[in-house]
């Protein structure tokens, strides 16, 4: 119902968003009410999936060393292929395996998968967040799917120095009951070489729509994937994300590398509770297309700062509004802070593309290996009427 409301409104011309008559206002109100009710009823479900951090493990008789024997040996999950049950602190060669949430994780070897069936509301959008770590494979990828949607997430780039990153992926529920499958399509020489997986969570998404305060959707990034309360490395929004299936509603990631979704519990955020960190230079771009009226003047405003994560240096965020561009320099001491910028332009099309990226690459100065960058937040687009 909620997505139906936003669907209905997003297909209306922008000028209609200001409710003119009583009926329109009532309809908007009704939708808002319904959305809130559903949101409240469903926020209970936001969080870890059943045994989502794999703390419940197989019986000792279902383990051969670390290898799990039997399809249904891990409570709540069904497995296929070479799946290992890993205890935190376990050693592999000279590599110490550390688990972010609790004490256990699973490892998916070549062609291995884990799956779980769960109930959703048909038509609604959901975002999955999971934590994964590369181990020994050369080219690790994971295929995450909720039929008929699927996405292959590259794990080639390690963003956090401790090896663990959290990834988000979104889908629209086509059935009231769906199955999530995480599959390692790898074909490594060592069949046990594959990513570790821990902490799989879900969150219902409520795609925001433009308002008379902001023509852009979700400009403050407040709506987005589930963030684990106990992890301090944010959530990666992977590359090649289209906006209709984005874990960050309204936005797409067009570049080769991910952008990082950060929360105010663990980072400094210019406004509200969420923002994005542009972690991979020009390879980490975020974009949105909005309706504009040719000939009209617009103001694009946004905040540029740093996440207070020891990411120091001279930063530049480049903003594009169609063919117009603005470079915003920011001197980061890595201790938090931000400045605001404005790009005024005259639209030359009925649709204008807005893109943001960082000019440079940056590394955290505490470990010299975690990718980091400037923070973007509070992105607003308003039409400026000439007197």
Ligand X SMILES: *[C@@H]1O[C@H](CO)[C@@H](O)[C@H](O)[C@H]1NC(C)=O
What is the contact surface with ligand X in residues (CB under 6 A)? 101-102, 143, 145, 150, 152, 181, 183, 185, 230
Q: How far is the CB of 343 from ligand X (least distance, A)?
A: 39
Q: How far is the CB of 169 from ligand X (least distance, A)?
A: 12
Give CA–CA dist 154/139, Å, rounded. 8
Nearest in space to 324 (alpha carbons), one of 302, 358, 300, 340: 300
The nearer residue to ligand X, 144 or 290, going by C-beta atoms, is 144
Q: How far is the CB of 118 from ligand X (least distance, A)?
A: 16
Strand order in the sheet with 177-183: 78-80, 113-119, 177-183, 141-146, 149-154
The nearer residue to ligand X, 66 or 143, going by C-beta atoms, is 143
Q: How far is the CB of 100 from ligand X (least distance, A)?
A: 9
Which residues, including other chains, have CB under 8 Å from residue 352's CB and lie 6 or more apart? 289, 290, 292, 298, 321, 322
Q: What is the signed CA dihedral for 125, 130, 134, 137, rounded to 10 degrees? A: -50
The nearer residue to ligand X, 211 or 230, going by C-beta atoms, is 230
Q: How far is the CB of 364 from ligand X (least distance, A)?
A: 23
Q: How far is the CB of 149 from ligand X (least distance, A)?
A: 9
Give CA–CA dist 261/112, Å, rounded. 28
The nearer residue to ligand X, 53 or 135, going by C-beta atoms, is 53
Which residues, including other chains, have CB under 8 Å from residue 176's CB and lie 6 or more apart? 119, 120, 121, 122
The nearer residue to ligand X, 242 or 348, going by C-beta atoms, is 242
| Cα–Cα distance list, 316 to 128, 296, 326, 356 (Å) | 31, 28, 10, 10
Tokens 């890993």 correspond to what residue? 86
The nearer residue to ligand X, 154 or 337, going by C-beta atoms, is 154
Compute the Cα dihedral for 336, 372, 155, 146 and give only its sign: positive
The nearer residue to ligand X, 143 or 161, going by C-beta atoms, is 143
Q: How far is the CB of 230 from ligand X (least distance, A)?
A: 4
């Amino acid at each position: 119902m909620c997505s139906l409301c936003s669907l209905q409104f997003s297909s209306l011309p922008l000028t209609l968003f200001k409710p003119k008559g009583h009926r329109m206002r009532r309809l908007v109100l009704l939708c808002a009410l319904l959305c809130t009710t559903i949101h409240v009823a469903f926020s209970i479900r936001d969080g870890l999936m059943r045994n989502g951090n794999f703390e419940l493990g197989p019986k000792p008789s279902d383990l051969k060393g670390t290898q799990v024997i039997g399809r249904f040996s891990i409570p709540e999950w069904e497995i296929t292929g070479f799946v290992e049950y890993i205890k935190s602190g376990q050693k592999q060669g000279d590599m110490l395996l550390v688990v972010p949430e609790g004490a256990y994780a699973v490892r998916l070897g070549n062609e291995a998968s884990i799956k779980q069936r769960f109930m959703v509301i048909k038509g609604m959008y959901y975002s999955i967040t999971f934590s994964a770590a590369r181990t020994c494979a050369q080219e690790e990828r994971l295929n995450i799917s909720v039929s008929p949607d699927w996405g292959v997430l590259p794990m080639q780039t390690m963003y956090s120095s401790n090896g663990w990153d959290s990834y988000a992926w979104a889908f629209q529920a086509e059935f009231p009951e769906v199955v999530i499958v995480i599959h390692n399509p790898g074909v490594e020489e060592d069949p046990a070489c594959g990513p570790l997986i821990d902490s799989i969570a879900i969150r219902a998404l409520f795609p925001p729509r433009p308002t008379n305060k902001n023509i852009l959707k979700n400009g403050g990034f407040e709506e987005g994937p589930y963030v684990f309360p106990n992890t301090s490395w944010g959530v990666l929004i992977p590359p090649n994300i289209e906006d209709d299936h984005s874990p960050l509603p309204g936005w797409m990631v067009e570049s080769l590398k991910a952008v990082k979704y950060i929360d105010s519990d663990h980072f400094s955020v210019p406004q509200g509770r969420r923002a994005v960190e542009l972690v991979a230079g020009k390879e980490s771009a975020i974009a949105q297309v909005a309706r504009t009226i040719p000939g009209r003047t617009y103001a694009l405003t946004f905040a540029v700062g740093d996440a207070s994560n020891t990411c120091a240096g001279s930063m530049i965020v480049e903003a594009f509004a169609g063919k117009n561009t603005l470079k915003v320099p920011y001197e980061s001491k890595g201790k938090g802070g931000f400045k605001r910028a404005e790009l005024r332009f005259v639209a030359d099309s009925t649709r204008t593309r807005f893109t943001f990226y960082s000019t440079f690459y940056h590394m955290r100065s505490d470990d010299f290996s975690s990718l980091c960058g400037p923070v973007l937040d509070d992105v607003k687009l308003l039409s400026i009427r000439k007197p």
